[in-house]
Amino acid sequence: MGVVTRHLQRHRDEGVNPWSSRDGHFSIIFGCTLGAFILKHTDNLSHALQGSSMSAAQGQQVAEEVCKTLSRDKSEAAFDLFWTRLLKRKSEVDAVAEPQLPRKRQAPARQEVGDSGTHYFPSTPKEYFRHMYYAAIDVTTECIRTRFNQKDFKVYQSIQELLLKAVAGEDHDEELAKVMAVYGDTDLQHYKLEAQLSLLPEVVQAMEYDTSRFDIADLLDFFQSLGNARKLLLSEICTLGKLMLVMPATNAVSERSFSALKRVKTYLRSTTGEGRVNHLMLLHVHKELADGIDMVEVANLFWGNNQRRKQLFGKFSSLRLPQGNSDSLITTNLL
C-alpha cells in the first residue's frame, strides 16, 4: 500500500493525474488497502506453517485462529475503522477522487424476485464497498478452512497425532482407529502396531529424547536415527513413518522450486531435459545439503565403476579450493 501511495504522490508532485482517464479509480486504492489488510494475516500464517516443528494439528489450530481473527473483523465497527483509515490515506493523495457508486445496470431476469426491479443496489458508496470488504473476508476464510478440511489432510493429521500421543503416553485410540480404517487392509497389522505403540515411549527415552517436549521435528529425527535392530523391533511404526513422510502437509518446497525454475532454466538452457532440470532443482532447493557434499568422494564414485574412466581420470586424492577467481582443481594420482 505504501508503494501505491508513493506512486500517486510522485504523480501529484509532477502535476500529472494518472487516474484522470479512468473510471472508478478509488476502487484501486480500496483494493490495495484491503489486500494489504488481509495478506498481513495470511502471509504470517504461511510463514508459521512452514516451520519445521509445526505438526498438522498445530497447523490447523493456528489456521483456525487466523480465520477467527478475520471473521472478527467482519463487523460494522471493524469496517468503519477500515473506512476511516482508507479515507485518511486517500486525502494524502490528491490524485485519488472521491468514492462513487458504479453505474446501475439492469439485473438479469433470473436474479429478480417477484416484481421487476427488486434486485438490490447499494444506496451509498460506503455500503457498496462494505459488501466487497465482507466478500473478501468470506472468500479468504473459506479458502483457508477448505485447505485444512481435505480428507487426505485428516489422514495425515491422524498419523502424526497417533505417533506423538503414543510417545507422550496419552490416549490415542481414536487416532489409531482412523489410521487403521485407511491402512488396515493394506499396509499395517493392527495387533503389531498396537504393541509397538506401547513400546515406543521406552525406545524414545532410551535414545535420550525428552518425551514431554517431543514434537514433529524430533519425530523425524527419531526415524532417521533408528538402527537396524530397532527398525525390526518397530517395523509397523517405521511403516507408519514412511506413510507420513510421503504425505507432505504443505507444498512450500515445490512452490519454491517453481519460483526458482526461471533462474535455473533460462533461454540458454531451453533444451535441457526433464531429468537434468529435476536434478538441478533439487540442488537449488536443498543448498545446505549440496554444500556439504565431499567432491573428492563424488569424483571417486564417478570413475570407480567404469574401467575406461579409471584409465582416463585416475584416482582423485585431494581437492584444492579455488583462490580468488581461479578455477577449482582436483589433483589426481594415476593408477
What is the structure's pLDDT at 120?
66
Within 10 angstroms of residue 327's Cβ, the number of other Cβ atoms is 6
Over 125-177, what HEC string results? HHHHHHHHHHHHHHHHHHHHHHHHCCHHHHHHHHHHHHHHHHHHCCCCHHHHH
Rounded to the nearest angstrom, the gap between the alpha carbon of residue 141 and the centroid of all alpha carbons in its chain is 16
- DSSP three-state, residue 8: helix
Closest C-alpha among 291, 246, 78 to residue 156: 246
Instruction: Return the residue matching grid coordinates 483509515.
Output: 85
Distances (CA, A) of 16 to 11, 87, 91, 94, 113: 5, 21, 17, 10, 47
What is the structure's pLDDT at 262?
75
What is the structure's pLDDT at 306?
78
181: exposed, middle or buried (C-beta count within 10 Å: 0-12, 13-18, 19+)?
exposed
Q: pLDDT tens track of the chain, all 335 residues?
A: 455 555 555 555 555 454 444 434 778 888 888 888 999 999 999 888 888 778 888 888 899 999 999 999 999 999 999 988 888 877 776 666 777 777 777 666 665 555 555 556 777 888 888 998 999 999 999 999 988 888 888 888 888 889 888 998 889 899 899 889 888 878 888 889 999 999 998 999 888 888 888 888 888 888 888 888 988 999 999 998 888 877 655 444 555 556 677 777 777 777 888 888 888 888 887 788 888 888 888 888 877 777 887 777 777 776 444 444 434 444 444 44
C-alpha cell at 109: 431476469
119 with 107: CB under 8 angstroms?
yes
Output phi, psi for 118, to 5 deg: -90, -5
136 with 31: CB under 8 angstroms?
no
What is the structure's pLDDT at 291?
84
